[in-house]
Structure 1
Amino acid sequence: MSPITLLHNPRCSKSRAALALLQQRNQDVTVVQYLKTPLSLAQLEVLMSQLGLQDPREMMRTKEAEYQQLQLDNAQPAELLRAIATTPKLLERPIAIVGNRAVIGRPPETVLELI
């Protein structure tokens, strides 16, 4: 089995729960604290593809104050990706990645689809 990369925020209960589920199943998990190590634009584009998404909003936390402050309601996809790259708090969490597949761990049990 390929190692699982988990885009993780340790302050998020859902993210902690997803990590615990993977660890309980003895999965090889590489934890990426994306708030400390933000993803580049290129990485975000790949992530969208891995998630099978067309609209970046589907992997964004649109209820965050920063989303409103940046006035992203009518933004185009490229602008949304730039916003995530510069304000990583906007990225939904957790996200588990294996190979060319990824899932958003909401609910946390969703990450188990990758094992």
Structure 2
Amino acid sequence: MTKIYHNPRCSKSRQALALLEEKNENIEIIEYLKSSPTKAELTELVAMLGISPLDLIRKGEAIYKEEYKGKDLNDEAWIDAMVAHPILIERPVVVKNGKAAIGRPIEKVIDIL
């Protein structure tokens, strides 16, 4: 099963989903703005990506600029911020066989398939 943390309004996310469909992947689509990942799920996702939680934050979002920009938060606090405001989560994120990739650029997704 291949999971995609998906936002249908995002062109990169739609591109990644189309790639998965083209590759005939068995896909679980998680529209994370409708069903926010839990703290445990985000912690696991960050670990699979091999990045810090801050690296998964979309810094161009208004909520980031208004509430978080310039703050020196620990990893747990950044995870909490993404749980509270899932719009902050970078997209798309694809997970397969214990590996994860942010689909920017899309070639990163191909690497884990």
With normalisation by structure 1, the TM-score equals 0.92
Which structure 2 residues correspond to residues 30-49 of structure 1 after superposition, within 5 A? 30-49=28-47
**Residue 45 of structure 2 aligns to a residue in which SS?**
helix
Which structure 2 residues correspond to residues 1-115 of structure 1 after superposition, within 5 A? 3-53=1-51, 55-73=52-70, 74-115=72-113
**2 CA distance for matches of 1:98 and 1:71?**
31
Assess if the C-alpha contact under 8 Å between 1:21 and 1:109 holds in 2: no
Please list the CA deviations of residues 92-114 of structure 1 after superposition, one character each: whole Å capped at 9, or x if unmatched.
Answer: 00000013210000012321112
Amino acid across the alignment from 2:91: R
Q: Report the alpha carbon displacement of residue 72 of structure 1 after superposing the two structures with TM.
A: 4.3
Please list the CA deviations of residues 55-75 of structure 1 after superposition, one character each: whole Å capped at 9, or x if unmatched.
Answer: 211111011111121124322
**2 CA distance for matches of 1:47 and 1:24?**
24
* Unmatched runs of 5 consecutive residues or more in structure 2: none
Identity %, equivalent residues? 37
**2 CA distance for matches of 1:47 and 1:72?**
23
Please, what is the CA RMSD of the aligned residues? 1.1
**1 CA distance for matches of 2:73 and 2:61?**
15
* Unmatched runs of 5 consecutive residues or more in structure 1: none
